A and B are shown apart, each in its own frame.
Chain A
């Protein structure tokens, strides 16, 4: 019988700091109890003697759970029987075959379009060395090297005869996107991180040699639908969309070397549209493979011109696509075919052109302003599906593009290879269809039931002529062990077996088995870190057949799911084979324990009660769960409208009473402490009835009306007789902003980080709802009109000379200290700060104006002594125009009329008498006003009208 040896430790949680198992008596006892039914000791422990070469077939589940088992187990053996596809040669009983769900070998029907012949040759010559961990045996054992080489050559020609590989160049942006995707969506969970220096884990399926094996189009096609080639679901589909498959392929094949096929020149400049590159002096030039923007080494303000030749073989209409961020152009023989000009995010534009056979002179121009940059040039035409143009161009006027090193299939060799394919057992495992029917294997092998242990394929030294897997000692022992006992798995035992088979345990835990390995923990990411591991680590499968309804469980396994948008690792599509698992889980887990009450009220009233319960005046589900497209007020946990589609109501009733029982460590609070509702006035204080009502409401799905508390309403602050002060995060006024709304409908935001007025505006003051509902994330903008930004940076400085730029350092570093504010008799704040020994007050008072009120600003400075050198106030930055005929009046940026009012005590005889200074430094024009101290005191009065 059974299978699963005791876990020494759970990799996620039980690892002690030194990596030693944490052994505490309680923990071990708990494990023992839980696993007692699954655990079997088959006899005295034998010494572990796994000394086989590290190239034995790598099956993650075997490596993780069985490879270092002290005694072989049936579970390990059965796993190998299925994963090595033994039963494709050695016929098994129908019952066993069903139980195993054997892993079918890749379908080779069009392998020539996918895999490079050179790789096939190398791989067939020595599968183990070429792809360590491969599950394909060496079928040419015992042959002379010459004979082996001959047969492999023939097989290679046969397989290559099924199609030709199309090549493409990896593009830097795609590689970058692919790297993120590969490590984030789930690829790396089975294959391991491919980043430089990442450890290769024993439990990973290695990707060794992948760059030799595939071309980008071939791998892309495979990733888009892996089940077409590998029907048994071990390589699941991640439901990749848009460019995702291509991006991952580009990343995995990033080191492909392709013959240069373009000449480029690059330029720098600040353009709004494509310049005429022929009139510019290039900064650099060279040859590249494909339209590679990295040739300039620039991210911003550069342009590249690519030149190449496009051979056209067939007469007809061709369509060219220029996709770019920012502008691009495609020209053939100097005639523009597509123009995608201007500064813009990534967009495609297309153009059609009739072409005759011949060689065309191709120009592709590109320019980049700022932000993201990308260039994709594609084409399609008679007999040519839409594809990157880089696969069709050449710098060699005589050559046919892409044919330089193309493998030439010999018909004779291919015919011979076809025979070998049938005779040597290839056809036993690999499906290869010709004209719709599968090539038959001519190899005969004994049925599984008649096999002897330790012999044939299972011998330590496999006899000549038999397929050799280089099995590890543990693998041989496990297979031997399983051959000795004929009984099949019981349905309940099939669950861990299948969870291992499909490597579900790499992400999910069930009971004490599986779950994320510590070494892969960092691969699991979330968009909402605050959700903790619940937002990041795939859910437990404990009781999953109780939780999810049968149809949904089947759907999830069959098609994948994406109900947790915050979780970046995806639940992949395993296909119909894995869906078998759904039935087993349902049968094993499903419980009917809750008594679901009938509520004697019309459904629409029950729905309304449920809606109330979901809202902020009920159970507050909406604080954390979003509803359809309406965001929750806290974290964004799963969409409430999907619940009834997924869950069983019986489970829902029990879960809601005590979530912790069903989901250990969940942040989902129980709204029913001790099984009692916290809302006794609803439905006669009955928790079950309330949950029923909630369920009925949730069953409305995307028709469900939004519960109370979700639609955030504006909280407009309106000054009455006195100003309103609002101190919070305000956009362009900083995290220490102090906004003031005055009754005169002129408003101010003063930035206490820089001691400066930051914004002034008219009419409505501010909407406080961003900060006064939910958690209050983010910076709020003024609610009113005519918002004007005043100079950034510190307000006052002594400059060594008139050419020195205004200091950019933060106020604290420049010697400023905020002192707070006092309210004047009309309760308007007078802001106070200190600069070194100068104490400053900054007082804004609205004054009438047309058509809107303005401000009269009085800045008072006190200092025990006048500063050495002129102290300047930076009054304005921008276009500064002195107003004709009026002294001390300027128009700033054509909108703000700024006037300096003379003050009696500073008009004459002041120390450091200087005139206002209008100057341009570093391309910025600014207006500086001198601060004139008299008897240690200075006052500046400015009016602002806009």
Chain B
């Protein structure tokens, strides 16, 4: 189980922690000196940097005849990897971290479950979130196969619509599992808690936690232990997003609000929020509806992806590369993993997303990150096509140890943005305003399906100021748009070695512009 202590460390302290390996990396670079730099530059000219140089992907072998449409992943205490499938099986992969991945073997632990999209191991039990219930499984006979299938809670409704998925989280600090429940047909709520997030206590009690969900694709905590989920483009969701499951909040789709009448909901959540107005904008409604938690991150449709899915947080303290503390989110259609940085502004999470790694074998759905820094990705494209052409996949990805030149984090300032890089920038190119392109837009918040990008504006970058260490650039921007995605392309920025960025773009969802005093306090 991942280190829960680390999760409680404050984001500020983590930022300090995360700079440590990066600093060592850059020191090493400086020491190696300018002799190598020229050679590097020549190489760079021949071959532009590729994602695979930094994060190579390796497939794990799947036995002939097994259809491993991975719905959830969980590393067990004994080092095995549990993989649950949409066909209702759970497989245990022996030696998933073996140096030669092809030597990993797997054995079936259970079958006959209903589309398992959440796994968690605890106290000798394997907790599995099925469509209709949270169960826990155990092998009592010692033959390596589960023989007890206990229902922990089956308190949510299900009508038989394929869209009624249930995604289960890892345990939170209190041991609760958070379950995000898709709407019936992804439009309406025909049974209790469809379109809700509920949490199931260790005692098996169901607590209604958030309303307003549409079609979740994954659920997971950030480094601080706050729970997030991904939702997908559709009614009341102009594009896919990462949303903070603030307890008691409304996540934007009013389809499930009818369940506010249930006594359990009234007790846990109070009265129903005011219904949002269709055709409006997210932040216009957020100001009217206190329960409404606006999406922390919007993944611009067709730019970042089309189906946001599994979530992991990098809690490896640098073993997974320079992105410690950040969140990684899969995209099923694009077969990619995206990267997200978050900050809290006026009490709400918001932040930016960045492309991270493409080229997974199938549609990325489930993610798991080992404490040693190996990211496992399970994929399926059944029913929903993906760029990865395989019907299913199980892959792992490790950091090669080379530090890619990337935008580490884009942070909002009262008058612009602060860009932190993984490696020092070339001060000359970075200080030129024309090295950067910034545009903004948002999405219609409406009851019909999705939204185009609307309300485009073109802010002006007045100044780009490079910090002394070369790692941070402060952009002074005229025309920040509260409530808009700020799409930044740093196409002209070069590293100190003259290399272009591995990914030039970042999309900051500026729900709130930080006030000057908050920025100063940080």
Contact = CB atoms under 8 A, between A and B. Distances in A.
A876 to B, nearest CB: 26
A752 interface: yes
A738 to B, nearest CB: 7
Nearest to B164: A735
Interface in A401-429: none
Contacts of B164: 735
Given A24-B481, A26-B439, A773-B382, A735 B159 contact: yes
B383 A634 contact: yes
A818 B151 CA distance: 7
A624 B385 contact: yes
Interface in A1-33: 13-17, 22, 24-27, 29-30
Given A17-B279, A25-B457, A727-B113, A823 B449 contact: no
Contacts of B302: 660
B364 to A, nearest CB: 14
B451 to A, nearest CB: 8
Contact of B114 (A617, A727, A774, A779): A727
B389 interface: yes
A29 B160 CA distance: 49
Contact of A532 (B67, B163, B277, B449): B449
A620 B389 contact: yes
Given A521-B448, A725-B112, A620 B385 contact: yes
A249 to B, nearest CB: 31
B154 A724 contact: no
Interface stretch (B128-136, B170-178, B313-321): B128-136
Contacts of A823: 146-149
Nearest to B87: A772
A14 B280 CA distance: 9
A777 B302 CA distance: 27
A372 interface: no
Interface in A604-655: 616-618, 620, 623-624, 633-634
A529 B455 contact: no
Nearest to B278: A17
A667 B456 CA distance: 21
A29 B162 contact: no
Contact of A13 (B87, B158, B452): B452
Dominant SS among interface residues on chain B: loop
Given A727-B113, A823-B147, A26 B440 contact: yes
Interface string B92-123: 00000000000000000001111100000000
A15 B279 contact: yes
Q: Size band of the B side of the interface?
A: 35 or more
Contacts of B389: 617-618, 620, 678-679
B381 interface: yes
A271 interface: no
A667 B149 contact: no
A557 B40 CA distance: 61
Contacts of A362: none
A727 B384 contact: no
B162 A736 contact: no
A724 B387 CA distance: 34
Contacts of A725: 111-112
Interface string B433-448: 0000001110010001
A665 interface: yes
Contact of B161 (A22, A30, A671, A777): A777
B385 A820 contact: no
A665 B333 CA distance: 15
A752 B154 contact: yes
Contacts of A620: 381, 385-386, 389
B187 interface: yes
Nearest to B113: A727
A754 interface: no
A774 B383 contact: yes
B162 A775 contact: yes
Contacts of A536: 448-449
Interface string A752-778: 100000000000000010001111111
Contacts of A669: 306, 333, 385, 387
A772 B151 CA distance: 24
Contacts of B280: 16-17
Given A620-B385, A774-B383, A728 B449 contact: no
Highest count of chain B CB atoms <10 Å: which of A532, A618, A734, A778: A532
Nearest to A671: B387
B422 interface: no
B450 A533 contact: yes
B88 interface: yes
Given A518-B279, A665-B450, A633 B159 contact: no
A277 interface: no
A806 to B, nearest CB: 23
Contacts of B306: 667, 669
Highest count of chain B CB atoms <10 Å: which of A14, A529, A819: A529
Highest count of chain B CB atoms <10 Å: which of A15, A24, A679, A725: A24
B372 interface: no
Interface in B270-296: 277, 279-281, 284-285
B61 interface: no
A361 interface: no
A678 B114 CA distance: 33
A522 to B, nearest CB: 9
B27 interface: no
Given A774-B382, A774-B383, A533 B449 contact: yes
A29 B459 CA distance: 13
A530 interface: yes
A664 interface: yes
Interface string A197-225: 00000000000000000000000000000
A623 B384 contact: yes
B234 interface: yes
Contacts of B185: 529-530
Contacts of A819: 150-151
A695 B140 CA distance: 58
Contacts of B371: none
A738 B131 CA distance: 12
Contacts of B457: 24-27
Nearest to A822: B148
Given A17-B284, A634-B384, A529 B112 contact: no
Contacts of B158: 735-736
A318 interface: no
Given A623-B384, A634-B383, A634-B384, A17 B277 contact: yes
Interface string B67-108: 100000000000000000011100000000000000000000
A550 to B, nearest CB: 29
A533 B233 CA distance: 12
A821 B137 CA distance: 10
B279 A820 contact: no
Contacts of B479: 25
Contacts of B391: 616
A30 B455 CA distance: 10
B112 A17 contact: no
B26 interface: no
B130 A775 contact: no
Interface string A653-672: 00000001000110101010
13 contacts: A17-B281, A24-B455, A26-B457, A531-B449, A623-B383, A660-B302, A678-B387, A678-B389, A679-B389, A728-B114, A735-B131, A777-B162, A779-B160
A-B complex: 5 closest residue pairs judged by Cβ atoms: A725-B112, A532-B449, A775-B383, A17-B280, A26-B457
Interface of A: 13-17, 22, 24-27, 29-30, 518, 521, 529-533, 536, 616-618, 620, 623-624, 633-634, 660, 664-665, 667, 669, 671, 673, 678-679, 724-729, 734-736, 738, 752, 768, 772-779, 817-823, 827, 829
Given A530-B234, A673-B387, A820-B149, 13 more contacts: A25-B458, A27-B456, A620-B381, A634-B384, A664-B452, A678-B387, A727-B88, A727-B130, A735-B160, A774-B382, A775-B384, A778-B160, A818-B151
